[in-house]
């Protein structure tokens, strides 16, 4: 699970930098509509990688490595899935 945390952290960092670059390019009116596409369609992957990294970091900080907690895994998984599903619903429903 540590590998998944590192992959999610890298994706969150890379997507965050992509968002900053796309915003700067959009404000500078460079590269046409591509920065707008990135800002419009890249929000859910950024959210997913951030939620995954945050949930895994919280899990690793609350548990003892010698004794993993199955209950905490289930609770954090349910909370993460509900948060992602709620944001997906707001993203597609309200728009």
Report pLDDT for 20: 94
Give me the mean pLDDT over the 17-27 stretch: 92
Spatial separation of the C-alpha atoms in residues 10 and 81, rounded to whole Å: 20
Report domain extents, the chain.
Answer: 2-93
Are 57 and 76 in contact by the 8 Å Cβ rule? The answer is no
Name the pLDDT band for 92 (thresholds 50, 70, 90). confident
Could you read off the pLDDT of 23-73 as tens digits, one per residue? 999 898 888 888 889 888 889 999 999 999 999 999 999 998 889 899 999
Burial class (CB in 10 A: 0-12, 13-18, 19+), 71: exposed
pTM: 0.84
Report pLDDT for 95: 54
């Amino acid at each position: 699970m540590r590998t998944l945390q590192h992959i999610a952290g890298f994706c969150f960092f890379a997507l965050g930098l992509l968002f900053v670059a796309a915003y700067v390019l959009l404000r500078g009116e460079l590269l046409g509509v591509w920065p707008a596409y990135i800002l419009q369609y890249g929000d859910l992957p950024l959210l997913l990688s951030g939620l995954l990294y945050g949930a895994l970091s919280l899990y690793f900080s609350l548990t003892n490595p010698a004794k993993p907690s199955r209950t905490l895994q289930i609770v954090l998984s349910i909370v993460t899935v509900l948060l992602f599903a709620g944001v997906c619903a707001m993203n597609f429903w309200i728009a």
